[in-house]
Structure 1
Amino acid sequence: MAPPKKQKMPSMKELQDLLATLDAEGGLAIGGGDEPANLDDLYEDSYFHAILHNNVKQDSFSIPSTPTSTSDDTTTTTTPPTPTTLTFETLILPQECAWGDDHESLGRQLLVRPGYQSVLSAITSASSSSSTSQQTIYMATGGSGIGKSSLAYFLVHKLHVAGHNVVISDPMFTNALLDNQYYSSYSPHLEEHLSIHTAISAPPSSSKTKKPTWWICDDGFLPIKGTNCHVIVTGSTATTADRDTDTIRKKNKLVQPVQFQVPKWSLDEIKAGLLVSLSSTSKDSPPMTKEQEAVIESLFKKFKGNPKKTFAWVKENWTGGRGEESTTTKTSKSKSNKPKRS
């Protein structure tokens, strides 16, 4: 019996060619076309994968609104306020997917705050009405945990559905949906990724048949010099907005950002957000008890309407996130499993 043939070690050129299929243009090129390897399956748990394959579902649910007091020192309201309901929309990802990434995941459901659609309409209308198709830069400011990243994820989905090319960056990673293909790269090396760099460098198209590229810069990342596409900055706080604007204008030589503030959450939004973040389907969630609502109102005042702090407290102190046990004495703690990195 002949001995088995010894396996030949690949040459350096063969290794480089193999790596090139996994790291095309400085990052990953996903979605088909002429790419030598389709790595889409590696990102099945990401919201990019769900958006690209049109697997994001839209749903809605209603909650009773919190009555506001109208009494003062001279008058007293004796008639109880008429109960009303508020309707909220959610964007739902498939199982195993999550909005966000390892360090800050929002779960499968994304609560669409009432102002999100207004932001989308305003920026797209203003940008499309420009006769010269000039670049526009918008800066959403707000306190930590106010929901700026949630707005970013909402805009990625809606702009892609509307036919735009969309790029989103944080300090570590950049992900792009360009011409129905998915690309990913390390943010510090965007100049090495030809497809993404070309997209953000190209000026807004004046063509009636091709919609422009939008670049969403989140979590402190700012657009780089040479950027010509439309930009939305969603990572600035009130204390960093002036500094970020100075960097965009003077250092990176871009146009003056138009600032708008992400408003604080109302008590009703906090309640809706809890139903969304602590359940797989908000419609199936049982209504809050009066005791639970009293605790939420207390937390709303304590954390000054900050949803991130409120949700974190509830998840840590209420069993399974549903508050079955006493809110004053914790009998157990339950933390949700961290989704995989998107």
Structure 2
Amino acid sequence: MPSMRELQDLLAALDAEGGLAIGGGDESANLDDLFEDSYFHAILHNNVKQDSFEITCISTPADTTTTPPTAPAATQTFETLTLPQECAWGDDHESLGSQLLVRPGYQSVLSAITSISTTPSTSQTIFMATGASGIGKSSLAYYLVHKLHAAGYDVVISDPMFTNALLDNQYFSCYSPHLEKHAAIHAAISTPPSPSTTSSEKKKKPTWWVCDDGFLPTKGTTCHVIVTGSTSTTAEKDTDTIRKKSKLAQPVQFQIPKWSLDEIKAGLLVSLSSTSKDSPSMTKEQEMVLESLFKKFKGNPKKTFAWVKENWTGGGRDATVIKTNSKSNKPKRS
């Protein structure tokens, strides 16, 4: 069976050449059955499982003089969002696997944006999450798509290649440069929510558009927007484009914080859990290696996980910490 990306590439070619509005108009009202291996399918059918796990913290208290020598190690609880086995967060080119680590600040972001968007006097809000490359902006985007849809919002998510939408409990997709050709998606991002005419009439919640990986909202947008693809260096330029070129509201910026050492550990355990049948854990030796990587890569999770993938073999309790040099039997340096 063709992968989701292969099917999207084929449909994108048709869209570019023949003007096909993927999932729109009479061509196709719903692409749900076509992309059963996508995270959109799992979100639409409420097949995202929320779990939690606890780790022993690596970080030590700043003031060790007040900590009794026999005090138990501190622990921290993390949540994960798990898709069915055949699905992955992201696409075939940059898949995060079936599990997504929920960073502690994600819920705060969700609460903040939804509380502002439901204020009666607010017509449109645009938020911009900025941070260093590889800090997890797309992970935040996937989390928000899931949570916003679960809360009853229509949700659209775009990157430079594709736009996918969950509208009225149906899944639609189109080639991002051709949004104007897709009636359902175009209407969702350009039509403000209608106010209730009677007190008993249920008011439709506003649409949220998540713009990820460098994609920015277009002129004529009236829905609420959160941009998750801007780096710290491009934020000013992106803001200028949104305001002057697209004639939209001034974005409210917030910085995605750097990962803590314990978050890196939790993220690594989540990654290992997809390759091990056992419940993943970490030895003291492994924690020491992780501390060194944390300092070397300045807390960048993408670089840390990439190094581990290259040098850390196996998984679970018997995972080999790093590949060794057969001549010296010493750890390789990267």
TM over 0.5: yes
Larger mean Cα displacement after TM superposition, 41-50 or 230-239 = 41-50
So what's the TM-score if we normalise by structure 1? 0.83
- Give the match for residue 43 of structure 2: 51
Unaligned runs of 5+ in 2: 1-13, 197-201, 327-334
**1:303 is matched with which residue: 284, 297, 300?**
297
TM-aligned CA distance change 1:92 to 1:281, over 3 Å: farther
**2:306 is matched with which residue: 308, 312, 315?**
312
> How far apart, in 2, do the equivalents of 1:76 and 1:94 lie?
46
- Give the match for residue 89 of structure 1: 79
Kindly provide the amino acid, as one letter, of the partner of residue 102 in structure 1: D
**1:114 and 2:104 matched:** yes
TM-aligned CA distance change 1:116 to 1:282, over 3 Å: farther
| 8 A Cα contact 1:168 1:218, kept in partner | yes
> How far apart, in 2, do the equivalents of 1:41 and 1:296 lie?
42
- Give the match for residue 336 of structure 1: none
- Give the match for residue 327 of structure 1: 322
**1:172 and 2:161 matched:** yes
- Give the match for residue 125 of structure 1: 115
> How far apart, in 2, do the equivalents of 1:233 and 1:85 lie?
33
> How far apart, in 2, do the equivalents of 1:77 and 1:83 lie?
10
**2:69 is matched with which residue: 41, 55, 79?**
79
TM-aligned CA distance change 1:77 to 1:278, over 3 Å: closer
- Give the match for residue 104 of structure 1: 94
**1:138 and 2:127 matched:** yes
SS in 2 for 1:27: coil
Instruction: Describe the superposition over 1:217-257 as per-residue Cα deviations: whole angstroms up to 9, x where unpaired.
Output: 00000000000000000000110000000000000000000
CA shift, 1:85, in A, is 1.3
Larger mean Cα displacement after TM superposition, 36-45 or 110-119 = 36-45
Instruction: Describe the superposition over 1:90-124 as per-residue Cα deviations: whole angstroms up to 9, x where unpaired.
Output: 00000110000122110000000000001000000
User: Where in structure 1 do 4 or more consecutive aligned residues deviate above 4 Å?
Assistant: 34-39, 75-78, 281-284
> How far apart, in 1, do the equivalents of 2:325 and 2:84 lie?
33
- Give the match for residue 194 of structure 1: 183
Instruction: Describe the superposition over 1:174-212 as per-residue Cα deviations: whole angstroms up to 9, x where unpaired.
Output: 000000010000000000101000000012444452101
- Give the match for residue 174 of structure 2: 185
- How much identity, in percent, do the aligned residues show? 76
> How far apart, in 2, do the equivalents of 1:77 and 1:119 lie?
33
Unaligned runs of 5+ in 1: 1-18, 332-342
- Give the match for residue 149 of structure 2: 160
SS in 2 for 1:297: helix
TM-aligned CA distance change 1:281 to 1:29, over 3 Å: farther
Higher RCO structure (Cα 8 Å, ≥6 apart): 1
TM-aligned CA distance change 1:57 to 1:281, over 3 Å: farther
| 8 A Cα contact 1:91 1:111, kept in partner | yes
| 8 A Cα contact 2:131 2:230, kept in partner | yes
